[in-house]
A and B are shown apart, each in its own frame.
Chain A
Amino acid sequence: MISAARAMVKCLENEGISVVFGYPGAAICPFYDELARSKIKHVLVRHEANGGHAASGYARMTNKPAVCIATSGPGATNLLTAIATAYADSVPLICITGQVSTDSIGCDVFQEVDITGAAEPFVKHSYLIKDAAQLPRIFKEAFYIAGTGRKGPVLIDVPQDVQTALIDFEYPETVTMRTYKPTVKGNPMQIKKICEALEQSKKPLICAGGGIFLAGAEDELRAFVEKSGIPAVSTMMGLSLFPSKHPLYQGMLGMHGVRSANYAVNSCDTLIIAGARVGDRAVRSPISLADGKKIIHIDIDPAEIGKNIPVDIPLVGDCKAILSEMTEKISTVDYSGWIEELSAVKNAEPEGEETEGYINPKMFMKKLSNALPDNVVCVADVGQNQIWACNNFEIRSGGRFLTTGGMGTMGYSIPCGIGAKLAAPDREVVVVCGDGSFQMEMMELATMMQEKIAVKIVIMRNKRLGMVRELQTKMYNDVQIAVHLDGDPDFVALAKAYGIEAERVSTMADAEEKIARLASSDKPYLLECNVYKLESTL
């Protein structure tokens, strides 16, 4: 017999987990004590939410569930934002929290909180383990649930006395669940219907979302687009499915998207939405958009189909299998007139202007991407910096773009970058954030130094919460309140205090040289960019 805490570690080992992100506390100590005897690497983050975001970055790079850990009470509640963020972006996480002993549950003891209750609205599933003997089965199920169907976070709350209980350990080989059976195979009749609809269409368009990454269907998508000749746009979560300069790719759609993508979405006659949920930032008025168009929606989650947009041909299933079947069935149609129409719009995108004493963030993003390897991972935070990166950081073949499109959680980028770098240590990881978001995550500079994680950070510093400032300017008569970041420290000096090399850049003339130094460093690096306070998002 072994302790359930030991069993927890063995479960993780059985799932092939080699890195976990966490922050200990009394209620999770039995587990940590066993973790000390394991080969699993523990990354001590400086805030529990960042542990969740780091696991998210790791999970998105590996496309497998990643693990974060927090203690009971405040540790667990700090984790909530990361859980909700992962839920909105369908990222597979296993969130392990310590809980007070079973006999104390409900007594409001020290560091007690009902975390399964609190997290209920935004977990895929959760467990409060009361019987230690069930622990191996629960872990097996949790990994299965998190990583299949529409992926998402699963919370496992383990009381302290359960962790110390002795159990017979055997890790189940298979999962037997009466209730949970995700649909994967697409209905062949519907696939046939879709192919027929596309062949009749004059102006078809694909809108690809983050679900394509989750399905591991990047290659299948590109093969389909290339064989069929159908142009594509992506959602924010679908960025980097196509290289920016792919001839059939029109860019990111939506409120903060590019004109060429929105033009394409509005002008097409048949729209295939694949692995995307038609969120409000992508499509503001889905009902009017659907008017006069044939809408085809492919998603693994049946509840997404018909939720936001009326659908002519629904198809539930895994995008990987569906797209490869569609590629086989589709015939190549000449859409050259349609492509030319789109290219004319795409090539008319204007270049930005420079402001004296500041860098132009849009031009800067292009230069930054050019200086980094093709397979760079770019992580954008939330706000103006995110949109600048989305629309101007040039993705080349093999590159990856990560951001939180669903929840829009500020402070996501650095921890996500840490997780991504650990998952792909051979790839360059560059984080783009603002001075607002940076100050929600800057404690993780310590984690980077402690674990020698060479993430490169670019801060777009405009001394403003720029996106809210812009909103106030446009919608609130330019009454600017609570958007001034006048207390900003000297970020270069701050980075140096952590032992991180850092520089400041204030003109585009200097940008190339300073970006080159960032790109050539093999250590953590921070570049502070002076951005004009009234710089616009688009």
Chain B
Amino acid sequence: MKHTISILVENKAGVLSRISGLFSRRGFNIDSLAVGVTENPEVSRITIVADGDDHTAQQLEKQLNKLVDTMKVKTLDDNELIERELRLIKVSAYPAQRSEILTICDVMGARIIDMTPSTLTIEICDSQANLERFNNMIEGYRIKELVRTGVIAIQKGSVTIK
């Protein structure tokens, strides 16, 4: 089962390695990890998507809380979160295929951000479910390169994690 965990940490050197080290040390698998500074420059927010059962997730939350640099850990409820991932995709696209790909991008809300006679570079930012749909449409073309940011997530409504 997938768990989306938001962690607020001190924005200091070495913190990310402590967090990621904890995951590997305790045998938790990370699906994706994204990190960046928050509205407060002293605080970073890490979003981790990890796989494991509920006991594992609970342990993970407690172990993360034990790290001295950790301010707040919250496992986000799947129904209460808005999640996004940005993907950059370079696909082979000869002139005959271009319009098909452009149509897919148009329908799915993706953008073309670069173009050569033989390739198109696509940018798409969406939820995991929509990215999966887009992927199903595009994977018939030859994907030369795929770059992902990892998931970031925020709670719906006015609640915040502080």
What residues make up the interface of A, taking CB atoms closer than 8 Å to B? Answer: 116-117, 120-121, 124-125, 128, 145, 150, 177-180, 301-303, 306-307
Is the pair A302, B71 in contact by a Cβ cutoff of 8 Å? no
Bound complex: CA A160 to CA B5 (Å): 39
Selected from B10, B25, B62, the residue in CB contact (under 8 A) with A302 is B62
- In the complex, chain B residues 6-65 whose Cβ is within 8 Å of any chain A Cβ: 9-10, 13-14, 17-18, 21, 25, 55, 58-59, 62-63, 65
Selected from A177, A179, A306, the residue in CB contact (under 8 A) with B58 is A306
Interface of B is mostly: helix
Bound complex: CA A306 to CA B17 (Å): 26
Is the pair A120, B17 in contact by a Cβ cutoff of 8 Å? yes
Q: Inside 8 A of B70's CB, which chain A residues have their CB?
A: 179
| In the complex, residue of chain B having the shortest beta-carbon distance to the beta carbon of A310 | B55
Is the pair A178, B17 in contact by a Cβ cutoff of 8 Å? no
Q: Inside 8 A of B68's CB, which chain A residues have their CB?
A: 124-125, 145, 177, 179-180
Bound complex: CA A180 to CA B10 (Å): 11
Is the pair B71, A178 in contact by a Cβ cutoff of 8 Å? yes
Q: Inside 8 A of A125's CB, which chain B residues have their CB?
A: 68
Selected from B9, B17, B25, B66, the residue in CB contact (under 8 A) with A301 is B66
Interface assignment of B83: CB less than 8 Å from any CB of chain A: no
Could you pull out 12 A-B pairs where Cβ atoms are within 8 angstroms? A120-B18, A120-B21, A145-B68, A178-B71, A179-B68, A180-B68, A303-B59, A303-B62, A303-B63, A306-B58, A307-B59, A307-B62
Min C-beta distance of A311 to chain B, whole Å: 12
Bound complex: CA A147 to CA B58 (Å): 26
Most A CB within 10 A of own CB, among B17, B58, B63, B66: B66
- B residues contacting the other copy or chain, number (CB 8 A): 19
Interface assignment of B69: CB less than 8 Å from any CB of chain A: yes
Bound complex: CA A121 to CA B17 (Å): 11
Bound complex: CA A121 to CA B62 (Å): 16
| In the complex, residue of chain A having the shortest beta-carbon distance to the beta carbon of B63 | A303
In the complex where A120-B17, A120-B21 touch, is A179 in contact with B10 (Cβ < 8 A)? Answer: yes
Closest 8 pairs (CB-CB, A-B): A303-B62, A125-B68, A179-B71, A180-B68, A121-B25, A302-B62, A303-B63, A120-B21
Bound complex: CA A303 to CA B63 (Å): 6
Is the pair B66, A303 in contact by a Cβ cutoff of 8 Å? yes
Q: Inside 8 A of B14's CB, which chain A residues have their CB?
A: 116, 128
Bound complex: CA A117 to CA B16 (Å): 12
- In the complex, chain B residues 107-134 whose Cβ is within 8 Å of any chain A Cβ: none
Bound complex: CA A307 to CA B59 (Å): 7
In the complex where A302-B65, A303-B63, A307-B59 touch, is A178 in contact with B18 (Cβ < 8 A)? Answer: no
Min C-beta distance of A301 to chain B, whole Å: 7
Bound complex: CA A145 to CA B66 (Å): 11
Min C-beta distance of B53 to chain A, whole Å: 13
| In the complex, residue of chain B having the shortest beta-carbon distance to the beta carbon of A182 | B66
Q: Inside 8 A of B17's CB, which chain A residues have their CB?
A: 117, 120
With A120-B18, A179-B68, A179-B69 given, name 15 new contacts (CB 8 A): A117-B17, A120-B21, A121-B21, A128-B13, A128-B14, A179-B9, A179-B10, A179-B70, A179-B71, A180-B68, A301-B66, A303-B63, A303-B65, A307-B59, A307-B62
Bound complex: CA A301 to CA B66 (Å): 8
| In the complex, residue of chain A having the shortest beta-carbon distance to the beta carbon of B8 | A179
Bound complex: CA A245 to CA B59 (Å): 39
Bound complex: CA A117 to CA B20 (Å): 12
Q: Inside 8 A of B62's CB, which chain A residues have their CB?
A: 302-303, 307
Q: Inside 8 A of A301's CB, which chain B residues have their CB?
A: 66
Bound complex: CA A462 to CA B13 (Å): 51
Bound complex: CA A145 to CA B69 (Å): 12
| In the complex, residue of chain B having the shortest beta-carbon distance to the beta carbon of A306 | B58
Q: Inside 8 A of B71's CB, which chain A residues have their CB?
A: 178-179
Min C-beta distance of A230 to chain B, whole Å: 28
Q: Inside 8 A of B13's CB, which chain A residues have their CB?
A: 128
Q: Inside 8 A of A178's CB, which chain B residues have their CB?
A: 10, 71
Q: Inside 8 A of A120's CB, which chain B residues have their CB?
A: 17-18, 21
Bound complex: CA A444 to CA B160 (Å): 56
Q: Inside 8 A of A306's CB, which chain B residues have their CB?
A: 55, 58-59
Q: Inside 8 A of B55's CB, which chain A residues have their CB?
A: 306
Q: Inside 8 A of A117's CB, which chain B residues have their CB?
A: 17
Bound complex: CA A421 to CA B10 (Å): 40
Most B CB within 10 A of own CB, among A116, A121, A150, A303: A303
| In the complex, residue of chain A having the shortest beta-carbon distance to the beta carbon of B69 | A179
